[in-house]
Amino acid sequence: MAAAGTMSTAAFLPSTAPHQRHTVQLRSTLLSKKAHEFNQSERVAHTLASSHNIIFLFLWDIYSSLIVYVTLLTSTESIVGLILTVGATLLAYYLQPNYNVASDSGYYVDWNGELPSVLLSFAVVTPLSQSIAMGYQRREVALKALATYRAAIINLYVAHASWDWTEYSKGKGRRGCVEHEEEQRQCIDGNNIQEVKKNGDDTDNDAHEQMKQQSPRSTSTTSSTPKPIDWLDHSDTTLRHLIHLSDSLCQYLTLPTATRARHRVTNKGRSEADIILSTGQQIFTSSTVGRTVAMSGLTEALKYRGLPGNEAARMRQWEHTATLAMEELRIVKEYRTLQGLRVFGRLFSLFLPPFYATSYVQVAIDTGSLSLGIALGVMTSIALTGLFECVRQLEDPFVSHVTLDGIDVREELVVLAYKELMVARAMVFPTAGDFELTVRGEEEGI
């Protein structure tokens, strides 16, 4: 009975530290409110998606496919290839040899312009299909790296904002951390000494005398109340670094492409590539790597205040994971699939369909319809140039503003990552005020 009574009483105790009960209650209230809103939105979404009949969906999909092909897969190569194919077909039709052979039913044309299709499949279809497969694989690698990066920065923020290093009756952890008066005095004195030396006095004794005169504190040794560490300020500083890190990464990934054939073999293309690549290197090395080093310093600050080594090692692991994901994204951005396959696909998808003009003429002769022969040539040309356009668009998966299957980097790194970090901040500090992304020093360029 006593054991049962003990278990009964323990069941009603909160599963958290006493000083966090109010915070946990606020988090539960916020999550319940959000869940109620999400349930209503979910019902509206399901109702909207199930309100269409099959015939309407079929027509809607066909119309959408045509719009996508015309607006995104039709390029300059498509128009030029179409003109060349139609022109070559008309030329071959009207200049064909007129070999009329007599038969019981009259005369027929003894001429065969059919060409083997093995060249078409070997020279165009195979390289294009392989290039599409490699480009799609690179896109999947980039998506995985983005997911890894976002997961790492969320865990980093939660660790900096909420991880504690205390146990019941063994210390207060974060709550027990205060600003050391001696450290503050040393910082103030050191800054004053540096300021005096900048003014032209290099003598240490004179610097100390001037420092004592300028110091706002009195010479008395009266003790003051220790100032608690502002952990909200620490977490907001971490949050600013993570947001600026994501913004810089987005700027780097959305730079124009600088690895096409024209950027390798022409002087103007090489000059353009040098400008784009140097800009990308500045963004990546200065902003991205610089913010990573700043995050490392914030982890050291937690270790100084008492964070155990094993938990610091886990935070270091997330820093490494985020850095590795950024490097993977950089590799995908700066390096491409085989340039030879792309050149092969571009040239033969443009010039090979006109070469098969005699095959289209043969279809026109056999069916007695020139329009059918021209239509076959047009379909062949736009199909091959459309495949090549798919290859071209998949080469740089980060330019989603000009492609349909590209990765929306701004949505992933600027919009969604920011929202996730703001939700994490609201969970950890439910009573905190609005978050300020820019502080005074950053606005003045300090």
- The pLDDT tens digits of the residues spanning 123-166 come to 777 888 888 888 888 899 999 999 999 999 999 999 999 888 77
Backbone angles phi, psi at 281, to 5 degrees: -65, -40
Residues 413, 97: contact at Cβ < 8 Å? no
391: CB partners within 8 A, 6+ apart: 128, 131, 132, 135, 342, 345
Where b means 16+ CB within 10 Å and e means fewer, 213-244 reads eeeeeeeeeeeeeeeebebbebbbbbbbbbbb
Q: Which of 35-49, 55-69, 240-254, 383-397 has the lowest mean pLDDT?
A: 35-49
Query: Which helix (H) or strand (E) is 102 found in, with range?
Result: strand 100-103
pLDDT at 231 over 60: yes
Of 30-34, 193-197, 214-218, 386-390, which one has max mean pLDDT?
A: 386-390
pLDDT of residue 80: 92
User: pLDDT digits over 261-276, tens only?
Assistant: 788 888 888 898 889 8
| pTM of the complete model | 0.75
366: CB partners within 8 A, 6+ apart: none
Residues 118, 380: contact at Cβ < 8 Å? no
- The amino acid occupying position 375 is A
Q: Which of 296, 283, 290, 277 is nearest to 248 (CA)?
A: 283
pLDDT of residue 393: 81
User: Alpha-carbon torsion 74, 79, 82, 84, what sign?
Assistant: negative
State the residue for tokens 């003109």.
83
319: CB partners within 8 A, 6+ apart: 152, 156, 292, 295, 296, 299
Q: Which of 421, 419, 393 is nearest to 407 (CA)?
A: 393
Mean pLDDT of 86-104: 74
For the chain, what percent of residues have pLDDT higher than 70? 76
pLDDT at 248 over 80: yes
pLDDT of residue 241: 93
Given pLDDT bands bounded at 50, 70 and 90, which one contains residue 18? Answer: low
pLDDT of residue 262: 83
Neighbours of 125 (CB within 10 A): 17
User: pLDDT digits over 331-341, tens only?
Assistant: 998 888 787 78
Provide the pairing of β-strand 106-109 with 227-228.
unpaired
User: pLDDT digits over 347-400, tens only?
Assistant: 888 888 898 898 898 888 888 889 999 999 999 999 888 888 888 888 888 876
Q: Which of 399, 276, 396 is nearest to 342 (CA)?
A: 396
As a whole number of angstroms, the distance between CA 141 and CA 144 comes to: 5
Mean of the per-residue pLDDT values for the chain? 78
As a whole number of angstroms, the distance between CA 402 and CA 334 comes to: 18
As a whole number of angstroms, the distance between CA 193 and CA 377 comes to: 83
As a whole number of angstroms, the distance between CA 395 and CA 137 comes to: 10
User: Alpha-carbon torsion 247, 421, 326, 237, what sign?
Assistant: positive
Residue 416 tokens read as 């969604």
Residues 378, 384: contact at Cβ < 8 Å? no
2: CB partners within 8 A, 6+ apart: none
